[in-house]
Amino acid sequence: MIKSFELARQYFPNAQLMINDYSVINTTFNVQRYLGIVNLLVARNLVDGVGIQGHAFSTRGVPATTLATNLSVLATAGKPLYITELDIDGVNSAMTPQLDDAIQLAEYQRIFPTLWEHPAVKGITLWGYRLGHWRTAQGAYLVNSDNTERSALVWLKNYVRTTVLSTKANQNAALTLSPNPATNGRFVLQGMEKAQTIRVLDLNGRLVKEVKGTNQTTTEVALHVSPGLYVVQVIDGYGVTSRKLLVE
């Protein structure tokens, strides 16, 4: 796996590389194993995002709190998370099975907000949107054959339209960075009491500096980079906090 990402980075240096797998956040064992793989790639600067497939066979019967906790575990790798293949079944298996909009709607209302509102999740891709695309027998589609929208899609469109996501959720509000712009790549971070890792990325998402937490309130960082705009990420007890840094 590492070799495949090395080749992708070598031959497509401007591409955003994402790892993607299924049945990841439904169990503690699976998420820890996946995190181990992700961290191997992150340490080599070979991955830019983490994909988590959200198929119904991975989420059905799993408490929303379990999904949220495991998303937070993956977020410790410091990369954005994407729910890449979300589908939710919509049949009443006790009745033949029979298409059941109410069952699909209830499951969307149970799962989707947990994924959408998690601060590390940057996007969700719906899977099997139309009839015949995917898991048709399980009623996972959102639009009927006559193009009418099922109840779950009606609710989903309104929910996304009206839900305001906080950009400061799980962020360390006390974290400051100065001077900014930084001359010669030197700057100081304050509010670092709980910091575990400091990462500096260029605008292509490539890691240019990593510093492990020092358990000190203030940490000085020296970069040896070209002038330009960079992103400083601090991973601590709050989650992942990002600050923009201009290097002169």
Q: Please give the Cα distance from 29 to 112 (Å, whole number).
A: 23
Residue with tokens 């069952």: 103
pLDDT given at position 51: 97
Question: Are residues 50 and 158 located together in one domain of the fold?
Answer: yes
**With contact defined as beta carbons under 8 Å apart, do 182 and 244 qualify?**
no
Question: Are residues 156 and 189 located together in one domain of the fold?
Answer: no
**In what order do the strands lie in the sheet containing 121-126?**
18-21, 49-52, 81-86, 121-126
Question: Are residues 139 and 48 located together in one domain of the fold?
Answer: yes
**What's the residue count for the chain?**
248
pLDDT digits (tens, 9 = 90+) for 19-70: 999 999 999 899 999 999 999 999 899 999 999 999 999 999 999 989 998 9
0.75 surpassed by pTM: no
CATH at residue 211: 2.60.40.3080
pLDDT given at position 236: 74
Last residue of a domain, one of 115, 134, 162: 162
Question: Are residues 26 and 136 located together in one domain of the fold?
Answer: yes
Domain range enclosing 149: 2-162
Domain count of the fold of the chain? 2
Mean pLDDT by 10 residues, the chain (248 residues): 95 94 93 92 93 95 92 89 96 81 95 92 93 91 94 94 68 83 90 80 75 81 90 75 84
Last residue of a domain, one of 139, 162, 185: 162
Last residue of a domain, one of 134, 162, 190: 162
